[in-house]
Amino acid sequence: MSVPPVPQHPAVAFSADAHFSVPLGIAVLSLLESAHPDTIYDVYILDGGVTDRVRRGIEDLKQRFEFRVTWLDVRSELLDLPAGGRFTAATYYRFLLPDLLPNEVKRVLYLDADVLVCDDLTELFAMDLEGCPLAAPVWQLVGRYRDTFEPLMQSFHERLEVPRDGLPYHFAQMLMDLDAMRREGWHRKLVDCARTADPAVLAWADQDVMNKVLRGRMKVMPYRYVAIPLFAEDAEQGEAACVPPFVYSAEELREAYWNPAIVHYAATKPNILKGSLDRYDEMFFAAWRRSPWAGCVPYVPVRMMELGRRHPLLARALMCIPRLFVRCPRILRGYGALLQALAPGSRKD
């Protein structure tokens, strides 16, 4: 199987709604800052309600970087698919890429908005997919987190009624062969599966659907394109183990965390009420401070989001301090310490 040449304008797609608007802006900025001088990206944004401030800021980046951006309004799409809690319709927007992108776009790299790009990504576009419609990372569980996550990883076979002969992939990063997706109708099969599935069995929504429909038809993406800070400490200490069969070596994991191409802030987000707790937080906050959105709260702390679902007015009141003093880290950390004392939680919540 011949590997296609790297496109002149590599296509990178993001998906975001209002809640992930600022992370989206920071992700796009990091993509452009990390590009080689001769790399000109075509950026496609699946727009589920990105704020005007972030949209204008991304457009203004054209004054500093050479790139193209296309906004694809998907707010009215896929509203009938299972959603709730932390999963919204935006979870499924990536399914639409083969239909929404121009036919001349043969490959696209999809990235969730909660990433930081640290290197030029054109090399990934030359990956040999060996006839598969996409490449994605395999879930890598390390050290202390195996007990927490492995049962859920292993349960998808029973929940989705598929044989135990496939790897558990996740899809925050995907290299899609759009011609293959279109030719074989995989994107429509994904939508149909999500539409007809029992919501009670979709623990991870889009990821469960993609693991079921595309089982056996995916290539493994190198881990340096998916370094997850949550697992970094254990991986760097060599305490790595993947859900069997083993895919990534301990050496590849350590190298990925020391020299990541993409950092994915899955599960835990940089928290302005805590400040930088590790070097991955430092990388994110440095990019945030360089961005046009340094006056915006990048991520609403997880516990406040959960509180907002139960008590919206209280959560809105508690967020007044972070929004007023977003440029005053000492005040924010003091406020965070006070909230932690009143309602203890995890280290990064």
Give the CATH number, domain containing residue 261.
Answer: 3.90.550.10
Which 3 state secondary structure label does DSSP give 226?
A: coil
Hey, what amino acid is at 28? V
Which 3 state secondary structure label does DSSP give 168?
A: coil
Bigger pLDDT: 133 or 161? 133
Q: Is residue 294 part of a domain?
A: no
Bigger pLDDT: 202 or 95? 95
Across 66-88, average pLDDT: 78
What pLDDT is stored for residue 138 in this prediction?
A: 86
Mean pLDDT (the chain) is 85
Give the residue carrying structure tokens 């950092």.
263
Residue 148 has pLDDT above 90, yes or no: no
Q: Is residue 260 part of a domain?
A: yes
Across 76-95, average pLDDT: 71
Q: Is residue 66 part of a domain?
A: yes
Across 183-206, average pLDDT: 81
Is residue 31 exposed (0-12), middle (13-18) or buried (19+ Cβ within 10 Å)? buried
Q: How many domains does the chain have?
A: 1
Confidence band (pLDDT; 50, 70, 90) for 288?
Answer: very high
What does pTM read for this prediction?
A: 0.90
Token pair belonging to 339: 């909230």
Residue 170 has pLDDT above 90, yes or no: no
What pLDDT is stored for residue 144 in this prediction?
A: 57
Token pair belonging to 305: 């989001």
Q: Is residue 322 part of a domain?
A: no
Bigger pLDDT: 276 or 161? 276
Q: Is residue 16 part of a domain?
A: yes
Domain holding 15, by residue range, is 11-268
Residue 80 has pLDDT above 90, yes or no: no
Residue 2 has pLDDT above 60, yes or no: no
Q: Is residue 289 part of a domain?
A: no
Determine what percent of the chain falls in helix, strand and coil, rounding each to the nearest 5. Answer: 45, 15, 40
Q: Is residue 336 part of a domain?
A: no
Q: Is residue 19 part of a domain?
A: yes
Bigger pLDDT: 324 or 162? 324
Confidence band (pLDDT; 50, 70, 90) for 47?
Answer: very high
Residue 241 has pLDDT above 60, yes or no: no
